[in-house]
Each structure stands twice: as structure tokens, then as C-alpha cells.
Amino acid sequence: MHWSDVWKLAWKGLTRRPVRTLLTALGITVAVASMVVFLSLGEGIRKVFTSELGAIGPDVQVSLSGFSQGFAPQPNLPQAVTADLQKLSGDLGIISMTPVVMAVRGSLDVSQSTVLYGLPAAQGVQAVFPSVRAASGRALTAADEGQGVAVVGAKAAQNLHLAVGSVLNLNRRNRVKVVGVLAPESGLVDNFIFLPLTTLQRAEGAQGRVSLVALKLANPRDARAVANTIARRLNVEAQTQSDFLSFIDRALRISDAVRFGISLIALIVGGLAVANTVMMGVFERTREFGTLRAIGARPAFVRMLVLSESLLLALAGGVGGLLLGVVGIAAVNAYTQKLAGIDAAALTPRLTLLALGISLLLGLVSGLLPARSASRLQITEALGRV
């Protein structure tokens, strides 16, 4: 018998019990779809950071706690560091430096969470994010330093229902007036609220301290050498843009492993369902296998027949899981677009191949025991069963 005969017999074996086969394939579909959606979150966020941070932000970022120590936005870096950096600017090719204070405002309603970003009003938002522009109102000016004003990103304005002239409470003692709303720029910047540096320092009780100092270099290719020199001379942490992207990638790999571990539970359950379905088929078709053996089929053929059924089940579930996963990814992205203006999930080619590969591996492993049992049936015993 040829391979075509194996696949035809395997298909007939599965369609003989359509409801059981359908439910088993559905179980695998749900398991694979959950894995696809979970892992697509890491792929999507990775693409967001790579595409959006690759073109914006400082060449070097100076802080007290670097990414490897778990960077937090709390202002803990003495602002006097800027004077030390100024002394090194000529030797290191630093053309601008921007002290920054960051603060996160969390909420049970995620859409109400924001990032407050304080920087010198005279330098303006363009000092760190050069391509942003105001869609309504105006940008920060030198006269705004220390005043209760703010420029709001497009998505933050939408989520918080802010417009030019709106009043935003920073806390019980501090409030600011919105003087400008930025045009949509990127999923990250659109969620920021920009304030004059001293205004946010006062609101946070962080006078004389900043979260980081953003540096622009005459030659960005020297960023790694400049960062090393600053870290050594000033005893601070200095990271480049590539350091930040590497940190994000490592963090996402860890979260990918956690999400895959969660998905693995569903995959194991799906594998057990495949093994159960195929094993029941073996017991119900004992006489059929005995007849095949009697007309000359070798044990290896019977083994391949059962494995083929298992693989077909897993492949159907894998393809169904990918299709269902695409629907899930679309739903996730619809939510995150509304929330933050980004696509947080993405189905990449490597994720597609991983899903199909795991499905086939699941089918192969699940079919090993039933295939072994079927191939070891004795002809006389099999034909004697009713």
C-alpha cells in the first residue's frame, strides 16, 4: 500500500465518528488559538518599541538606576549632574541635554492612566521628540516654566476628555491648564502629558531632582563610547537607545516564556484529547486492523495509519487555532488602538510556524501510544473480537 492509501484510510477513520473528531479538533483549536494570542502580544509590543523608539528619543540617557537595575521613573538623580555633563560636552560631542522628570498616574480604568513628562519649557517637547507638533493650541514656551500649564498627547486628550482650556488635576494641591493638544504621532508619545520641568518637580515634591537627563550627540554613532565615558567619570548609569531596545527585548522574552507556559497547559489537555480519541478509534476498529494485517499489511503500516489520524487531527486543530487566533488578535488590537493608539498584538511568520509546528508535534506525540497498541495486535486475536 502507498502513502495515499494511508491518508485515505486515516481520513475515513476520523470521519466515521464526526462529532467526536470535531470536538477533539475544537479542543486543539482553542489551545492553539490561546497560545497564538498570548505570544502575539510579545511580538506586537516588540514591533511597537522597535519601530517607534528607533526614530525618537535621546542618543544617550543618563539616570541613577539603569535598565539592568530595573529603571523606575521616580526622580532620584540630582539635577546638578547636568552641570557635570556640561563640562564634558565639548569633549564628548554633546550638542544638547534635557533634564526630564517622569511620573506615572495609574488608575483602575487603564484608559485613565497617563505618563507625566516634565522637561524645560524653553527647550520644548521637540528637544526629545523632534517630530511632534501641536494640532490645537500651542507648544510650551520659555515663559511657561514654573506655570500650571500642560501640552497633552492626542490619545491622552481623547481618553481623559481634555481640550485646550481644560483643567487637569495632578494631585489635591496642583492643577494645570491645557494650552495645547499634539497631533497624533506615535502610540507612546500620544499617551504622554508634557509639563514644564519645575511645575512637575513641584507637584512631585522633587525640587532639585530629575528622573533622567536626555543627551543628543553630534555623532549618534559615538553613543556607546560616550555612554561608557559618562558612566565611568560621573558614577551614573548611561544607556543608549540600543541598550533600551535590548532591555525591552529581554523583558519580552521572559514574558513570552511565561505566556507560553500558561498556553502549554491548554496544549497538554488538547494532546490528551487527541490521544483519547485515537485510542478509542483503535479499540473500536480492532477487526479492521486485523483484516489489514491478514491481507498483508505490516505492523509499520498500521502504526503509520494511526499516527496519520493523530497528525490530521492536530493539523486541523492547528489551522483552526491560527484562524481563531487571527480573530483574537484583531479584537486585542481594536481594544489597544482605542486605548493607546497601538497594535499590541501581531501574528508574525515565526509565530505562525511555531503554532503549526507545535500542533504537528502534539499530534505526533499524542499518537505514539495508540499507534504502538494498534501495531502490536495479533491477527487471530483481532479477527476473533466482535
pLDDT tens string for the chain (386 positions)? 555 666 676 677 677 777 877 888 888 888 899 889 988 988 888 777 776 655 556 889 899 876 655 555 678 899 999 999 999 999 999 999 999 999 888 766 666 778 899 999 999 888 888 888 899 999 999 999 999 999 999 989 988 999 999 999 988 889 999 999 999 876 678 889 999 999 999 999 999 999 999 999 999 889 999 999 999 999 998 988 777 777 777 777 787 788 788 878 878 877 777 777 777 766 666 656 556 656 655 766 767 777 787 888 888 889 999 999 999 999 999 988 877 777 888 898 989 998 899 888 888 888 777 767 766 666 555 455 54
Half-sphere exposure of 29 (CA within 13 A, CB side): 17
Render the burial of 21-48: b for 16+ CB within 10 Å, e for the rest.
beebbbbbbbbbbbbbbbbbbbbbbbbb
CB atoms within 10 A of CB 198: 17
Q: What is the pTM of this model?
A: 0.69
Render the burial of 116-125: b for 16+ CB within 10 Å, e for the rest.
bbbbbbebbb
Cα–Cα distance list, 53 to 61, 185, 224, 244 (Å): 13, 12, 17, 9
Q: Rounded distance, CA 136 to CA 54, Å?
A: 27
- Secondary structure of residue 117 in the 3-state scheme: strand
The residues, ordered by sequence, that sit 6+ positions from 252 with a Cβ below 8 Å of its Cβ are: 42, 45, 46
What are the φ/ψ torsions at residue 15 (nearest 5 degrees)?
-75, -10
Q: Rounded distance, CA 386 to CA 377, Å?
A: 14
Only one residue has cell 569633549, namely 91
The β-bridge relationship of strands 175-182 and 149-152 is parallel
